[in-house]
Amino acid sequence: MRAEGSTDRWRARVGLSMLISVAVFLLPILVAIAAAAAFARIVPDPRSGAGVFGWWALLLAVPWIVYILASRLGRRALPLAALLNMTLVFPDKAPSRMAVARKAGTTRGLERQLEAARGNGVQDEPAVAAAQILALAASLNKHDRLTRGHSERVRVVTDLIADQLNLPQADRDRLRWSALLHDIGKLTVAGSILNKAGKPDEMEWQILQGHPLEGARLAAPLAGWLGPWADTIVQHHEKYDGTGYPFGLSGDQISLGGRIVAVADCYETMTAVR
């Protein structure tokens, strides 16, 4: 079996992805239970009333604090779990999923990537750009809490549509990328707008409507490799009747990828818990 990085394709490792996801959920609980047991064994049970109250308060507080800290650490593994669940082809050798997950796994790293992307875009060389853009896409979950996991779910629905349309494998590979990156332009929108509880005001809505264009800008180094499927990113909010954005395209003016991802995007949004 060739090591990852010696081929141009990631194969989905669903079992390992599920194992990491389960571990992220269970380990903080087990660590908290262990912390409570250790506290009860190390700190003697006092006899006085006030002491008993304090002892029980600490017994409850210590595992809760340990659980919160362990959960925060564990969530850093979630981008890796998401990446392991994907089958993706790359312009050149596939990067290490662990390396991509590390770039996406910390808030500080995300902030640095966002500043670099806003100011300078991404690398022009497709193979390097692919890894950098994928790390940004994995970071989108941290930036936009209300759409956590949205891009991955849209990618899954897009795969199902592509299967029903009997698209050739090369087209499916590139459409999968476009579906995964369709909302990457939201990285340029302030988190306060994306995560706002109520409806956006007029100015905020104008900013939100700019995310397809920003997404196309960020993904531009991959446009040549993606071919006609690159238009998916900028067109995924166009509507068949011409009332969409950013260009107001209608009918067959919208690319096939734009139409497919628009359907997948709307379906996922309407069926999501939020």
The string of pLDDT tens digits covering residues 60-69 is 999 999 999 9
**Which CB contacts under 8 angstroms, 24+ apart, belong to 189-197?**
189/214, 191/143, 191/144, 191/145, 194/143, 194/144, 194/145, 194/146, 194/147, 195/144, 195/145, 195/146
Tokens of 110: 């995300």
pLDDT at 118: 53
Convert 20-87 into a string of H (helix), E (strand) and C (coil): HHHHHHHHHHHHHHHHHHHHHHHCCCCCCHHHHHHHHHHHHHHHHHHHHHHHHHHHHHHHHHHHHCCC
Q: Name the CATH topology of 94-191+198-271.
A: Hypothetical protein af1432 (1.10.3210)
pLDDT at 97: 87
Secondary structure (3-state) at 241: coil
Say if CB 29 and CB 64 are below 8 A apart: no
265 alpha-carbon distance from chain centroid: 14
Say if CB 204 and CB 193 are below 8 A apart: yes
pLDDT at 234: 96
Say if CB 201 and CB 180 are below 8 A apart: no
pLDDT over 90, % of the chain: 45
Helix (H) or strand (E) holding 135: helix 126-143
**Distance of alpha carbon 143 from alpha carbon 213, whole angstroms:** 18
Secondary structure (3-state) at 10: strand
pLDDT over 70, % of the chain: 85
The string of pLDDT tens digits covering residues 216-248 is 988 888 888 999 999 999 999 999 999 999 999
**Amino acid occupying residue 69:** L
Is this model's pTM higher than 0.85 or not?
no
**Distance of alpha carbon 183 from alpha carbon 211, whole angstroms:** 7
- Domain positions in the chain are 17-76, 94-191+198-271
**Distance of alpha carbon 156 from alpha carbon 85, whole angstroms:** 10
What sign does the CA torsion over 121, 89, 211, 194 have? negative
Residue 2 has pLDDT above 50, yes or no: no
The string of pLDDT tens digits covering residues 180-224 is 899 989 888 888 888 788 888 999 999 999 999 999 988 888 888
Greater model confidence, 73 or 264: 264
pLDDT at 230: 94
Q: Which of 92-96, 161-165, 246-250 comes out lowest in average pLDDT?
A: 92-96
DSSP annotation string for 87-130: -EE-SSSPPPHHHHHHHHS-HHHHHHHHHHHHHH---SSHHHHH
- The whole-number average pLDDT for the span 165-182 is 93
Phi, psi of 2 (to 5 degrees): -75, 145
Say if CB 10 and CB 86 are below 8 A apart: yes
In whole angstroms, how far apart are CA 243 and each of 97, 218, 265?
39, 25, 16
**Amino acid occupying residue 219:** A
